[in-house]
Amino acid sequence: MSATALSLARPADLAEASRALADGGRALAGGTDLVPLLRDGLVRAESLVDVRAALPRGIEGERIGAGTTLAELEGSDDVPDALREACRLAASPQLRMMGTIGGNLLQATRCWYWRLAFPCRLHGGDVCHAREGEHREHAILGNDFCASAHPSDPAAALLALDATVETTKRRLPLGDLYRLPDESDHEVTMLEPDELVVALEVERAEGSVYLKAMDRQRFSFPLVGVAAVHRNAETRIALSGVAPIPWALASAEDLEGATPLPGTAYKLEIARALVRRALEAVA
Partner 1 sequence: MLHAAVLRSPYASARVASLDLGPALAAPGVRGAIGPDDLEDLTREPGYPGAPVAAVAADTPGRARRAVEAIAVEWRAAEPLLDPDDAVRRGELLCEPERYQRGDVERALAEADVVVEAEYRTATVLHNALETHQSVCVWEDDKLTVYTSTQWIWGVRDDVATRLGIPGDRVRVVCRYMGGGFGAKTEPGDYTFMAIELARRTGRPVRCALSRREENLATGNRHATIQRLRAGARSDGTVVALDGEFTMAVGWDGFASSTAGPMKLLYGCENVRTAEYGAKLNTGPNAAFRAPGFVEGTFGLECLLDELAARLELDPLELRRRNHADRDLVDDRPFSAKNLLECYRRAEPHWARRESLRAGSEGPWKRGVGLASQIWYGGGGPPSYAWVRVGSDGRVQVVTGGQDIGTGTNTVLAQIAAEELALPLDRVRVAVGDSERGPYAAISAGSSTTPSMGPAVRTAAADAAQQILEIAAQRCEVEERALSLEDGRVVSADGRSWPIEEIMNLLGAAQILGRGSRGPNPTGMRVMTFGIQVAEVAVDVETGEVRVERIAAIHDVGRVVNPLGASSQVEGGIIQGLGHTLSEQRLLDPESGAVLTQTLDAYKLPTVADVPEIVTELIDIPDPHLTSLGAKGLGEPPIIPTAAAIANAIRDATGADVRSLPITREEMLRALKEARERDRALAGSTG
Q: How far apart are CA 147 and CA 112, in angstroms?
A: 11
* Residue numbers at the binding site for partner 1 (CB under 8 A): 1, 3, 92, 110, 112-113, 115-116, 118, 129, 132-134, 136, 213, 215-221, 223, 263, 265-266, 269-270, 273-274
Which CB sits closer to partner 1, 145 or 219? Answer: 219
Taking the complex as a whole, the smallest distance from the CB of residue 220 to partner 1 amounts, in Å, to: 6
The answer to whether 255 and 263 are in contact (CB under 8 A) is: no
Taking the complex as a whole, the smallest distance from the CB of residue 238 to partner 1 amounts, in Å, to: 18
H or E, element range at 226: strand 224-231
Taking the complex as a whole, the smallest distance from the CB of residue 133 to partner 1 amounts, in Å, to: 5
Taking the complex as a whole, the smallest distance from the CB of residue 221 to partner 1 amounts, in Å, to: 8
H or E, element range at 279: helix 265-282
H or E, element range at 199: strand 197-201
Which CB sits closer to partner 1, 33 or 72? Answer: 33
Taking the complex as a whole, the smallest distance from the CB of residue 231 to partner 1 amounts, in Å, to: 26
Which CB sits closer to partner 1, 136 or 170? Answer: 136
Hey, is 235 helix, strand or coil? Answer: strand
Taking the complex as a whole, the smallest distance from the CB of residue 120 to partner 1 amounts, in Å, to: 11
Which CB sits closer to partner 1, 8 or 265? Answer: 265
The answer to whether 196 and 21 are in contact (CB under 8 A) is: yes
Taking the complex as a whole, the smallest distance from the CB of residue 228 to partner 1 amounts, in Å, to: 16
3-state secondary structure 125-178: CCECHHHHCCCCCCCCCCCCCCCCCCCCHHHHHHHHCCCEEEECCCEEEHHHHE
Which CB sits closer to partner 1, 134 or 206? Answer: 134
Which CB sits closer to partner 1, 22 or 117? Answer: 117
Hey, is 209 helix, strand or coil? Answer: strand
Q: How far apart are CA 202 and CA 248, in angstroms?
A: 16
Q: How far apart are CA 50 and CA 75, in angstroms?
A: 25
Which CB sits closer to partner 1, 32 or 164? Answer: 32
The answer to whether 84 and 73 are in contact (CB under 8 A) is: yes
Residue 13 C-alpha from the chain's centroid = 25
